[in-house]
Amino acid sequence: MSALFTRNRLIGLALAVVIAAVDQLTKWIVIGPLALRRVGHIDLLPFLDLTYMENRGISYGMLQATSTDTRWLLVAMTVIIAIVVLVWLLREAKLGDILGLGMILGGAIGNIFDRATLGYVVDFVDFQVLDYRPFAIFNVADAAITIGVVIILARSLLVSDKDDATGPAQAADAVSEK
């Protein structure tokens, strides 16, 4: 196996593919069989509803794509970000970091696919506590990106580089990943 495609990196890439596929599957289910685009809203649980929303911007609707040019500009920007994350993932050796990057990459791919094919990102998960909504309406890709970023930040703040060589098993893993 090539040094570029180590076991950990293949796991990260597989995770990205699975997240992108699950994201697209859930969007297909809510738009197709559940007809959420037509009904607009489905009550599921006291704290969770399905609410159809077309997000033509990025996070929290910022940078709205109000024309074809701005739509493709957002696609290009997110593709560039996804490429940067992919390169980062392929340069990383630690599985914890690779998993976070795989989640970010998979979420980015899911949302890029929406924006490129539909012109907007389909959001539908509406989480609330009583009448308080701690999050904007989101989708599986958004959740994966957020969790991936939290993993990367937590690992950068809490895991030190010296943890790599604390024992023979970790040292052997580090050598096999190079």
Catalytic option among 69, 123, 126, 161: 123
d(CA 93, CA 150): 18
Catalytic option among 69, 142, 161, 163: 142
Q: Is 123 an active-site residue?
A: yes
Q: Which residues contact 128 (CB under 8 A, 6 or more apart)?
A: 47, 48, 49, 134
Q: Is 142 an active-site residue?
A: yes
51 — phi, psi (to 5°)?
-130, 120
Q: Which residues contact 2 (CB under 8 A, 6 or more apart)?
A: none
> Annotated active-site positions, please?
123, 142
